[in-house]
């Protein structure tokens, strides 16, 4: 019996998803290279207990007030720290000294809306260049269709997220075999775009609209941090409204985990 190839779909922005029900029970990879994905991976790698993405600044504030000092309010509006928050969205703010053992309550312009729309997904992974290989390995083992959800920029296409998506597609095809997946036009296009930029990811980030904006605000170091491929062996997953590493979910007996469903080999 012939095995049907798996499908890789891609949305260029969270605005392409009408509601969270559209992604219910799907496998989703959320990408916001500049900077929410990278910041979240960095925070977890440096010992943050968990991350809670929120729908609004007000919701973040409410969670923070009820956390008995265990939470840090994190995020940005138009790339700048939100008034009253503890941390912005700059990678260098998320050092081990600052975030270890803390709950990071997060709100950002494009990243958290993408995560909120993925809250009913069967599996939702957070991806940047910094944890590429780990996510590739996860998807290779998963052996299921999945959707790449680029955060985009203000509802539109962003070059950096699409190139990152293209790298994911290219690396997965190489790891699992080109005949293992069928690509939509958008995921194929992302793969071709990655081929044009793969020799110098940092240069690509500097050429992007948002990259130039961040440099103008003094965040050039963040572009360097966001360009570092495979800096972390980290797989952050969103489950029941909370983002943790897969190891943290598996080691906590109090959490009701969604089992990673494996495709039957038969």
Quick one: pLDDT at residue 249? 94
Quick one: pLDDT at residue 107? 97
Quick one: pLDDT at residue 132? 98
Quick one: pLDDT at residue 2? 61
Cβ pair 139, 26 in contact under 8 A: no
Across the beta sheet with 80-81, what order do the strands follow? 80-81, 71-77, 103-107, 50-53, 242-245, 236-239, 123-127, 27-31, 146-150, 6-11, 181-183
| Average pLDDT for runs of 10 along the chain of length 266 | 84 96 97 98 98 97 89 96 97 98 97 97 98 98 97 95 98 94 98 98 98 98 98 98 96 55 35
Quick one: pLDDT at residue 67? 86
The three-class DSSP label of residue 243 is strand
Quick one: pLDDT at residue 254? 63
Overall size of the chain counted in residues: 266
Centre a 10 Å sphere on the Cβ of residue 254 and count the other Cβ atoms it contains. 4
Cα diameter, the chain: 60
Domain residue ranges of the chain, discontinuous segments joined by +: 6-244
Cβ pair 222, 88 in contact under 8 A: no
Q: What is the CA radius of gyration of the chain?
A: 17
The position carrying tokens 């990811």 is 201
Task: Name the CATH code of domain 6-244 (choices 3.30.1490.20, 3.90.1560.10, 3.40.50.920, 3.40.640.10).
Answer: 3.90.1560.10
Cα(184)–Cα(5) distance, integer angstroms: 12
Phi, then psi, of 48 in degrees rounded to 5:
-60, 140
Cβ pair 38, 127 in contact under 8 A: no
Quick one: pLDDT at residue 252? 77
């Amino acid at each position: 019996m012939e095995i049907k190839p798996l499908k890789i779909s891609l949305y260029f922005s969270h605005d392409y998803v009408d509601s969270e029900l559209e992604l219910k029970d799907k496998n989703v990879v959320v990408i916001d290279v500049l900077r929410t994905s990278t910041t979240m991976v960095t925070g977890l790698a440096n010992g943050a207990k968990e991350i809670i993405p929120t729908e609004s600044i007000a919701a973040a504030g409410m969670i923070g007030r009820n956390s008995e000092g265990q939470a840090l309010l994190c995020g940005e509006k138009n790339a700048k720290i939100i008034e009253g928050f503890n941390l912005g969205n700059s990678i260098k703010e998320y050092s081990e000294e600052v975030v270890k053992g803390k709950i990071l309550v997060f709100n950002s312009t494009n990243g958290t809306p993408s995560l909120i729309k993925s809250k009913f997904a069967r599996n939702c992974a957070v991806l940047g260049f910094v944890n590429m290989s780990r996510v590739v390995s996860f998807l290779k083992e998963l052996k299921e269709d999945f959707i790449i959800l680029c955060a985009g920029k203000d509802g539109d296409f962003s070059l950096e997220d699409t190139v990152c998506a293209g790298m994911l597609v290219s690396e997965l095809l190489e790891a699992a075999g080109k005949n293992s997946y069928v690509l939509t036009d958008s995921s194929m296009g992302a793969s071709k775009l990655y081929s044009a930029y793969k020799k110098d990811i940092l240069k690509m980030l500097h050429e992007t609209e948002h990259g130039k904006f961040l440099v103008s605000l003094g965040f050039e170091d963040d572009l360097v941090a966001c360009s570092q491929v495979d800096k972390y062996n980290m797989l952050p997953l969103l489950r029941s409204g909370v983002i943790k590493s897969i190891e943290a979910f598996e080691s906590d007996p109090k959490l009701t985990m969604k089992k990673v469903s494996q495709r039957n080999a038969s």
